Copies of this chain bind each other. A is one copy, B any other.
Amino acid sequence: MPRIVVEVMPKPEILDPQGTAITHAMGRLGFEGLGEVRQGKRFEVEVATADEATLAAVREAAETLLSNPVIEDVVSVRVQEDDPR
């Protein structure tokens, strides 16, 4: 079955404490040269057919159910090309 991938990130102006914790942990663990980390969400939605109507439905779900538009941006809604697993 095709899958549609939805990616959601905290808006740039919103504090991201999880990302900040990871940023500091990376420094302590010796990962040099890596800067700020921000953490968002990734969803995979199974669909029967990845047609335009289905993509539109997933886009609407992404904006209303999968993200909080006050603090998050939907950065990508796309058909998954291949499953690396």
Please give the residue numbers on chain A whose beta carbons come within 8 Å of chain B beta carbons, in ascending order. Answer: 1, 7-9, 11-12, 19, 22, 25-26, 29, 31-48, 54, 57-58, 60-61, 64-66, 73, 75-76, 84-85
Chain B hits for A54, CB < 8 A: 33-34
Min Cβ gap A44→B in Å is 5
CA distance A25 to B42 in the complex (A): 17
- Could you tell me if A37 and B26 are in contact, using CB atoms closer than 8 angstroms? no
CA distance A74 to B37 in the complex (A): 16
Given A57-B31, A60-B31, answer yes or no on A46-B42 (Cβ-Cβ < 8 Å).
no
Chain B hits for A46, CB < 8 A: 34-37
